[in-house]
Structure formats: C-alpha cells, structure tokens
Amino acid sequence: MTHSQRLLAAALAAGALSTAFANPLAKTECIAPAKPGGGFDLTCKLAQTALQDGKFITDPMRVTYMPGGIGAVAYNTIVAQRPDAAGTIVAFSGGSLLNLAQGKFGRYTENDVRWVAAIGTDYGAVIVAENSPFKSLKDVMAAIKADPTKVILGAGGTVGSQDWMKAALTARAGGVNPKTMRYVAFEGGGEAMTALQGGHIHVFTGDAAEAYQQLKAGAKIRILAVMNDKRLTGEMASIPTAAEEGFNVEWPIVRGFYVGPKVSDADYQAWADAFGKMMATPAYAKLRDERGLFPLAITGAPLDAYVKKQVADYRKLAEEFGLSTKPAN
C-alpha cells in the first residue's frame, strides 16, 4: 500500500468511526405529522423547548410539518425513506396507534418503528364555540338524539379516527347510533378548531390540552366536558367529566415519539435516556403542566410494550364499531 493509499484508508476509517459514534442529539429534528396548530405541533414544541432548556441538545431542534393521512405520510416516510435518521424523532398520539390498529398506515404496522418516549397524556374533550347554544354535554346529546342531522360534529380525522371514536363512544353512551351522526373530517385539530369558530361545525370532539392552549391564545370556544374518570387538575379543574354529565366515556391520549427502524441501539438509547432525564426534572413538569398535559413518562422497552398493548386494545374496539382492521392498499 502506498503512502497516499494509507492516508486515504486512515481517513475513511476515521470517518466511519466518527459516524459510528456520532451523537444523534447533535442536530435534531421533530416531525409533526400534521399542519401547524394541533396536538402533534404541541408535542414537538414541548420536546423542542424542554430538551434545549435542559441542555440535552445544544442546537435548536427543527420542527418539520408533514401532514397527510393523520400521521400515515410521516410514518411511511420514516420507515421507507429515512429508516436510519438518528437525529429525527416523529410525534405520535393515541390517535396514531388507533390508525395503526385499523391498518390506515398502509402495509406498515406498530412493529415497523422504534418507540422512544411517551412524554405526557391528554384526554378527549367536547368543545363548542363561545356563542354556541349548547351549554353542556347534556344539551349536545339531547339535540343529537332529537335530530342527528341538525348537529354537525367535526374533528381532525376521518371515520374511525380517534376524534371520530370519541364522538361515536359518546353517542353510543347517550343511546344514539353513531352511524346517524353528521361528521365532518379535517386534516388536523387546528383546521377543525377554525371551522368550529367559523360556525361550519357545531361540536368539536378534540383534545383537552390542545383546546385549552387555543382558549388561552384567544380562541372563542368553550370546553364542555373532558373524557376522564375524574376531573383534571389545575386550571381545567372546573370542567366536568363526561361521566358527570351522564355519559360514561373515557379517552386518554398518550403523546410521544418514535424513530426509524434502522436507528442503532446506541442512538435509540441516547434518545430514551435524554427523555428519561428530561422528564425527571421539575422544569419539565412545569412546561408540561403549562401545556395542559398530564404525567405519563415511559421510555425504551416499557414504551414498546405499552404501545403494542394499546394497538391490540384498539383493534378490538374498531371491530366493535364494524371498522376494518386490515391494511389499507
């Protein structure tokens, strides 16, 4: 081997070594699988702020919006095109898991990515415009029962999505056949919220934290009920539960992140460790509370097991409503 060949070999070896030991947290990106303004956006921005404030990342995290199929486009992009993008995390929610359970992400399943961290939980909520004649969930259900065609419900997701499921479960609890609901699907919670305030829909079955953030930002809305077994704490403590209104519906919404299937064990663990340490700090608890999210901190293998169980439970629920659980073509 000549001197120049030895130098080239050394340079290539050094490059391979630096790649092998590259820090996935050095240059980071969070993909929010929807347009700005919804729950995925909230999730990414919470991680962006908390990771940087806690000095777990040095450079600001970039937030990228990738709408389409309520998470399907982002999921397929990561699995098929960027499976080893170690610096990229993608936001997911309970709605993502419900869509996976119904085969809405195409040929890919819950086994095709690496689940990194759950950083909080939200709960379903029933929301109306500030000037709505509906003053309670009982009012909404009475109107739907009287004439389902006169109450337009809407949310960020098609039939079978988690927002549709919240409406369907509430209708069923009130003795209304979910198939008779008038339901309008939007690409994300942000669009549905705009339609609600514009009078294009009458009721939005969304997420409590997302709605509360919009309320604090000046949105002309009212939250009628939250879908939890007990009232939420803090600033949302005055909002009744659906059960208090006579409708036994619970819908917790996990929020977290996954990475591509070919991200190395070391890089995956680096993310899991960073999130674990971040969520153990009082500063993170404050940021999470400010966004209306509630404690749920699971990382690594325990999260993987949690996700698999949730997807299995959602498959059973989908079958109860006569929804397909086969992969979409």
- What mean pLDDT comes out for the span 312-328? 86
Closest CA to 61 of 50, 48, 70: 48
149, two tokens: 């065609």
pLDDT, tens digit (0-9, with 9 covering 90-100), for 92-108: 999 899 989 999 899 99
The CATH number given to 123-251 is 3.40.190.10
Q: Would you give the DSSP letter of residue 320?
A: H
With contact defined as beta carbons under 8 Å apart, do 25 and 116 qualify? no
**DSSP H helical ranges for 198-281:** 208-216, 265-279
Q: What is the pTM of this model?
A: 0.78
226: pLDDT strictly greater than 50: yes
Distance CA 57, CA 43 (A): 17
Compute the radius of gyration of the chain from its Cα atoms: 21
**Alpha-helical regions (H) of 34-188:** 39-53, 72-80, 94-101, 137-146, 162-173
CATH fold of the domain at 26-121+253-320:
D-Maltodextrin-Binding Protein; domain 2 (3.40.190)
Scan for tokens 């119904």, then name that residue.
102
CA distances from 7 to 13, 22, 116 (A): 10, 22, 39
Question: Which residues are 89's β-sheet partners?
Answer: 30
Q: Where do the structural domains in the chain lie, given as residue ranges?
A: 26-121+253-320, 123-251
| Best CA proximity match to 91, nearest among 32, 48, 34, 161 | 32
Rounded to an integer, the average pLDDT of 249-256 is 94
pLDDT greater than 70 at residue 249: yes
Distance CA 72, CA 74 (A): 6
Identify whether the C-beta of residue 28 lies closer than 8 Å to the C-beta of residue 61: yes
pLDDT tens string 253-304? 999 999 999 999 999 999 999 999 999 999 999 999 888 888 999 999 999 9
Contacting residues for 75 by C-beta, under 8 A, at least 6 apart: 33, 90, 96, 105, 108, 112, 113
* Pairing relationship of beta strands 114-129 and 298-299 according to DSSP bridges: antiparallel
pLDDT more than 70, % of the chain:
93
Confidence of residue 190 (pLDDT cuts 50, 70, 90): confident
Residue 45 confidence (pLDDT): 96
Strand partners, 68: none
- For residue 87, what pLDDT is reported? 97
CA 54 to chain CA mean position, Å: 23
Bridge partners of residue 88, in order along the sequence: 29
Range with lowest mean pLDDT among 15-24, 152-161, 315-324? 15-24
